């Protein structure tokens, strides 16, 4: 299951992670975000133990959305050692996101 990322757990869960991290910035009212949601959940299961997969609700976590300069959703970021290494905007396929995350695991 994808983790819910908040400003409270961001440092420990994302920045301090030894594993690569995939963050999905989304909102409940966003149609493409709802389409991407089940894909993110599948990736969380597939990469369990090899990567952290998290979801950031931009309505609830405006500070994080601002820090990542999220202007469009869904936006997916891959972080390695606390640094953004990939950024995608828009809904993507499971295979595309899986291949992307695989590069960093």
Candidates 1, 101, 4; CA nearest to 58 is 4
CATH of domain 3-102: 3.40.30.10
Yes or no: say if 10 and 19 are a contact pair by the CB < 8 Å rule.
Answer: no
Model confidence at 56, in pLDDT bands (50, 70, 90)? very high
pLDDT of 54 reads 97
Q: Please state, rounded to an integer, the average pLDDT across all residues of the chain.
A: 96
Candidates 6, 73, 95; CA nearest to 87 is 73
Average pLDDT over residues 79-100: 95
Q: Annotated catalytic sites, by residue?
A: 30, 33
Distance in Å from the first CA to the final CA of the chain? 18
Cα gap 6→103, rounded to integer Å: 26
């Amino acid at each position: 299951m994808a983790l819910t990322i908040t400003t409270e757990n961001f440092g420990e869960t994302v920045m301090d992670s030894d594993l690569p991290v995939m963050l999905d910035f989304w909102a409940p009212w966003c149609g493409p975000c709802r389409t991407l949601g089940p894909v993110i959940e599948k990736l969380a299961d597939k990469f369990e133990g090899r990567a952290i997969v998290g979801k950031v609700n931009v309505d609830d976590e405006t500070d994080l959305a601002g820090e990542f300069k999220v202007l469009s959703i869904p936006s997916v970021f891959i972080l390695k050692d606390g640094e953004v290494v990939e950024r995608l905007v828009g809904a993507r396929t499971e295979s595309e996101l899986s291949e992307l995350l695989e590069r960093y695991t």
